[in-house]
């Protein structure tokens, strides 16, 4: 082989490797959704639901797809809007029966403007917050402009989406009575047949204690979305004991500067033998429920 031919072979091999690398990266990037797309449509056809803890980095966004429509709990940050939008479009989602905004912080309502503008939103469930931060005020005027129905989240009230029943279990005091905006988070217990889930927003230990006092054993569930991204100020020993979930989910960003989920929380989860799944390590996390069995599919 001449020097020229050897060089050619090296260049062609390198180019082939590059193309292969690009293809496999592409497959890896979309694997999250492609993997489960068939399963998801079959679940809906058979009357089941799917629950998606979407990987939006350091923020929350949870999608519940039911045969009777969709519900979205929080919308990630403003900068994660493209990720959220492409996830929803891949699943061919065009509308939401309910958009729940747990509390007015950027990592929960940051993408809400995009959702209101680009999807058909029937109802927004939120508290009567008097926060005067810009992102929240802008959202309020957008909700007005798009004429979306707003339902105030009141503890004890329920709303339905077909067979899925969601009950507001927090906040249990008026907005101004909390020291932290996090603890004003709307917390939902969702029930579908035998499957039950609790979504806590960023509720902290004080709100957890109020829920225990108010709802007791009703807090028992299969999946608990850990409060405040797995921070040590949430997921108290008492709350984990009474909710006694099989799975706990931490929605947090890779190498986040807050150290979420906290070592203390992981220790408590270990004590109760609760399996921890986390979006920073697992990417988007998906469960399905047929009304009897809850299955972790991704």
Sign of the alpha-carbon torsion through 139, 142, 143, 144: positive
Q: Which of residues 93-152 bind Zn ion (CB under 5 A)?
A: 107
How far apart are CB 251 and Zn ion at their closest, in Å? 8
Question: Total number of residues binding Zn ion (CB under 5 A)?
Answer: 2
- Structure token pair of residue 42: 């079959």
How far apart are CB 222 and Zn ion at their closest, in Å? 23
Q: Which of residues 144-203 bind Zn ion (CB under 5 A)?
A: 202
Q: Nearer Cβ to Zn ion, position 97 or 202?
A: 202
* 78: Cα separation from own chain's centroid: 15
Q: How far apart are CA 5 and CA 2, in angstroms?
A: 5
Strand, coil or helix: 35: helix
Q: Which of residues 264-283 bind Zn ion (CB under 5 A)?
A: none
Q: Does 204 engage in binding with Zn ion (CB under 5 A)?
A: no
Q: Nearer Cβ to Zn ion, position 105 or 189?
A: 105
Q: Nearer Cβ to Zn ion, position 48 or 59?
A: 59
Q: Nearer Cβ to Zn ion, position 107 or 208?
A: 107
Q: How do strand 158-161 and strand 149-152 relate by DSSP bridges?
A: unpaired
Q: Nearer Cβ to Zn ion, position 32 or 202?
A: 202
Q: What dihedral angle (degrees, nearest 10) is formed by the CA atoms of 283, 284, 290, 292? A: 50
How far apart are CB 184 and Zn ion at their closest, in Å? 12
Residues in the chain: 298
How far apart are CB 192 and Zn ion at their closest, in Å? 25
Q: Nearer Cβ to Zn ion, position 226 or 269?
A: 226
How far apart are CB 229 and Zn ion at their closest, in Å? 6
| Contact map string, positions 52 to 91, toward Zn ion, x by CB under 5 A | ----------------------------------------
Q: How far apart are CA 229 and CA 62, in angstroms?
A: 13
Q: Nearer Cβ to Zn ion, position 202 or 280?
A: 202
| Contact map string, positions 209 to 248, toward Zn ion, x by CB under 5 A | ----------------------------------------
- Structure token pair of residue 39: 């399963």
How far apart are CB 92 and Zn ion at their closest, in Å? 28
| 9 sits in which H/E element | helix 3-45
Sequence-ordered list of residues with C-beta below 8 angstroms from that of 258, at least 6 positions apart, any chain = 58, 229, 231, 252
How far apart are CB 276 and Zn ion at their closest, in Å? 18
Q: Nearer Cβ to Zn ion, position 191 or 260?
A: 260
Q: How far apart are CA 185 and CA 201, in angstroms?
A: 6
How far apart are CB 228 and Zn ion at their closest, in Å? 6
Q: State the DSSP string of 88-144.
A: HHHTT--EEEEEE--SS-HHHHTTHHHHHHHSEEEEEEE-------HHHHHHHHHHH
Alpha helices in 125-204 (DSSP H): 134-145
The footprint of Zn ion (CB under 5 A) covers 107, 202
């Amino acid at each position: 082989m001449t020097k020229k031919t050897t060089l050619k072979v090296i260049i062609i091999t390198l180019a082939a490797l590059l193309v292969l690398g690009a293809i496999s990266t592409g497959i890896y990037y979309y694997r999250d959704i492609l993997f489960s797309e068939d399963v998801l449509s079959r679940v809906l056809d058979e009357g089941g639901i799917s629950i998606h803890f979407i990987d939006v980095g350091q923020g929350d966004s949870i999608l519940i797809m039911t045969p009777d429509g969709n519900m979205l709990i929080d919308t990630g940050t403003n900068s994660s809007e493209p990720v959220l939008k492409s996830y929803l479009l891949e699943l061919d989602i065009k509308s939401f029966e309910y958009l729940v905004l747990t509390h007015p912080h950027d990592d929960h309502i940051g993408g809400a403007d995009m959702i209101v503008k680009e999807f058909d939103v029937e109802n927004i469930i939120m508290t009567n917050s008097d926060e005067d931060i810009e992102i929240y005020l802008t959202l309020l005027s957008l909700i007005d402009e798009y004429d979306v129905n707003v339902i105030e989240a009141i503890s004890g009230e329920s709303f339905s989406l077909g067979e899925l029943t969601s009950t507001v279990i927090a906040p249990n005091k008026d907005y101004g009575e909390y020291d932290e905006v996090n603890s004003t988070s709307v917390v939902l217990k969702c029930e579908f047949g035998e499957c039950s889930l609790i979504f806590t927003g960023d509720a902290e230990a004080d709100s957890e204690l109020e829920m225990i006092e108010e709802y007791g054993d009703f807090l028992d569930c299969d999946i608990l979305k850990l409060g405040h991204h797995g921070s040590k100020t949430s997921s108290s020993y008492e709350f984990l004991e009474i909710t006694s979930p099989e799975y706990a989910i931490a929605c947090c960003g890779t190498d986040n500067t807050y150290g979420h989920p906290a070592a203390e929380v992981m220790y408590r989860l270990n004590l109760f033998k609760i399996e921890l799944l986390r979006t920073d390590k697992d990417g988007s996390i998906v469960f399905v429920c047929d009304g009897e069995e809850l299955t972790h599919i991704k």
